[in-house]
């Protein structure tokens, strides 16, 4: 696939331009030259911004992302993830990256008391959040729910094998894989000596500067109005991810059915419009954004306060904004 090289970014605000993208990535205070490269990956436009004009460097990161996507994608029948699912009930030998991803997903599942649960896949596959929309009938949901639960995933790290407990159990990495892949791409670039970079993969952004005093300005999308910002975060090197009810959804009888599922009910989680997580790692920001959305404002913010190095911006159904204590001076709402 050809790579687009965007021209130098002179504007202080770089708005992302895909339906899925949530963030405008703001450049630092100094208008240093930067170069943005983009590629369609993981169902979204991924942008890598560097301070040097190096399509070759960007390509190294894109290739790593492509390699991992081929392992994780449940849209591809020949991926390792698909093989785990089609071989449910028996152990499957997997690549180290797949074992690591499954291990991290299990960790977040425990950490969030099952609000983040990749086995929600058995339910998700009965929903269709496309334009036509499909609400699974109650008996179907009930049956699918009996296969949900992280105890149904067994990871044997020593032998590198993953086993789903029985047929019907399905692993959906959709709430964590994108973040993990962004982390890995960042690692590749850091190993190559990159001293400043932003990787923007739709709702998941990672940014790094070798200078510890550097701050990044990250815009959070307004849940209802594409192109408008809800507010701006000023954060140091790390990652930010947002989950919202406006990404994949359909409306039936005035009710919005979206793709963040409460694993206890099999239904879209209610109460919030969007959750943004700030964390050192993109995988954790990604998975916790999904989990806190499910947990709701009170339980979700309590969890965030209990975790070191994790902060959140939560928007409820009345468009009220709540931030965790560590973001008091770091988040500024955008006035209309």
Q: Give the interface with ligand ADP as residue ranges (CB under 6 A).
A: 116-118, 120, 124, 172, 174-175, 178, 203, 243, 247, 259-261, 263, 286, 289-290, 294
Q: Is 237 or 243 the residue whose CB approaches ligand ADP more closely?
A: 243
Least distance from ligand ADP to the Cβ atom of residue 10, Å: 29
Tokens 């969007």 label which residue?
274
Q: Over 71-125, what HEC string results?
A: HHCCCCCCCHHHHHHHCCCCCEECCHHHHHHHHHHHHHHHHCCCCCCHHHHHHHC
CB of 85 to Mg ion, least distance (A): 19
Q: Which of 122, 274, 290, 323 binds Mg ion (CB under 5 A)?
A: 290
| Nearest distance, CB of residue 277 and Mg ion, angstroms | 8
Task: Give which of 31, 29, 41 is closest to 67, Cα–Cα.
Answer: 41
Q: Would you say 43 or 326 has its CB closer to ligand ADP?
A: 43
Structure tokens that stand for 92 in this block: 């499957």
Minimum CB distance to ligand ADP, residue 289 (Å) = 6
Indicate the helix (H) or strand (E) that contains 56. Answer: helix 55-72
Nearer to Mg ion, 50 or 275 (CB): 275
Q: Which does 268 bind (CB under 5 to 8 A by kind): Mg ion, ligand ADP, none?
A: none
Sign of CA dihedral 80, 85, 86, 87: positive
Q: Which does 219 bind (CB under 5 to 8 A by kind): Mg ion, ligand ADP, none?
A: none
**Beta-bridge partner residues of 220:** 231
Give the nearest residue (CB) to ligand ADP: 174
Closer by beta carbon to Mg ion, 64 or else 286: 286
Decide if 181 contacts 187 (C-beta within 8 A). Answer: no
Nearer to ligand ADP, 109 or 330 (CB): 109
Choose the one of ligand ADP, Mg ion, none that binds residue 172, judging by a C-beta under 5 to 8 angstroms depending on kind.
Answer: ligand ADP
C-alpha to C-alpha distance for 235 and 279, rounded to whole angstroms: 10
CA 247 – CA 289 distance, rounded (Å): 13
For residues 194 and 282, which CB has a smaller minimum distance to ligand ADP in the complex? 282
Alpha-carbon dihedral sign for residues 230, 235, 237, 241: negative
Minimal distance in Å, beta carbon 1 to Mg ion?
Answer: 25
Tokens of 37: 């490269």
**Angle separating helix axes 96-111 and 177-191, nearest 10 degrees:** 130
CB 286 to Mg ion: min, Å: 4
Shortest distance in whole angstroms from residue 76 CB to ligand ADP:
15
**Bridge-based pairing state of the strands 267-268 and 261-262:** antiparallel
Q: Residue 247: which of ligand ADP, Mg ion, none does it interact with, CB under 5 to 8 A by kind?
A: ligand ADP
Q: For residues 200 and 23, is the Cβ–Cβ distance under 8 A?
A: yes
Fill in the per-residue mask, 159 to 198: x = in contact with Mg ion (CB under 5 A), - = not in contact. Answer: ----------------x-----------------------
Give the nearer residue to Mg ion in terms of CB position, either 118 or 175. Answer: 175
Residue 15 and residue 41: Cα distance in Å, rounded?
A: 18
User: Which of 183, 262, 286, 311: binder of Mg ion (CB under 5 A)?
Assistant: 286
| Residue 215: CB minimum distance to ligand ADP, A | 24
Task: Name beta bridge partners: 92.
Answer: 162
Q: Give which of Mg ion, ligand ADP, none residue 174 binds (C-beta under 5 to 8 Å, depending on kind).
A: ligand ADP
Distance of CA 335 to the CA centre of its chain: 27
Q: Which is nearer to Mg ion, 42 or 58 (CB)?
A: 42
Q: How many degrees, rounded to 5, is the angle at CA 277 between CA 61 and CA 257?
A: 100
Instruction: Take residue 228 and report the two structure tokens written for it.
Output: 């408008």
Residue ranges that bind Mg ion, judged by CB under 5 A: 175, 243, 286, 289-290
């Amino acid at each position: 696939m050809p790579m687009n090289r965007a021209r130098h970014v002179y504007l202080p605000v770089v708005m992302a331009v895909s339906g899925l993208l949530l963030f405008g990535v703001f450049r630092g205070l100094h208008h240093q030259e930067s170069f943005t490269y983009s590629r369609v990956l993981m169902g979204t436009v991924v942008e890598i911004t560097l301070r040097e004009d190096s399509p070759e460097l960007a390509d190294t990161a894109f290739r790593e992302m492509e390699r991992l996507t081929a392992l994780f994608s449940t849209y591809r029948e020949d991926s390792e993830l698909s093989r785990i699912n089609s071989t449910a009930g028996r152990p499957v030998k997997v690549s180290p990256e797949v074992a690591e991803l499954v291990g991290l997903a299990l960790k977040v599942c425990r950490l969030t008391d099952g609000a983040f649960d990749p086995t929600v896949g058995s339910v998700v596959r009965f929903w269709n959040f496309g334009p036509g929309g499909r609400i699974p009938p109650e008996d179907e949901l009930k049956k699918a729910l009996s296969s949900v639960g992280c105890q149904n995933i067994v990871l044997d790290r020593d032998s590198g094998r993953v086993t789903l407990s029985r047929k019907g159990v399905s692993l959906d990495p959709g709430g964590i894989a994108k973040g993990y892949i962004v982390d890995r791409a960042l690692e590749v670039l850091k190993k190559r000596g990159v001293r400043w970079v932003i990787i923007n993969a739709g709702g998941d952004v990672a940014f790094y500067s070798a200078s510890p005093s550097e701050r990044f300005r990250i815009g959070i999308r307004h849940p209802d109005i594409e192109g408008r910002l809800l507010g701006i975060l000023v954060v140091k090197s790390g990652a930010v991810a947002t989950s919202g009810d406006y990404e994949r959804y359909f409306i039936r009888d005035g009710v919005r059915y979206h793709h963040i599922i409460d694993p206890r009910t099999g239904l879209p989680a209610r109460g919030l419009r969007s959750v943004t997580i700030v964390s050192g790692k993109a995988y954790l920001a990604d998975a916790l954004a999904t989990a806190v959305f499910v947990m709701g404002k009170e339980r979700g913010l309590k969890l965030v306060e209990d975790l070191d190095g994790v902060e959140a911006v939560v928007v409820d159904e009345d468009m009220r904004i709540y931030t965790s204590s560590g973001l008091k001076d770091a988040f500024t709402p955008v006035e209309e």
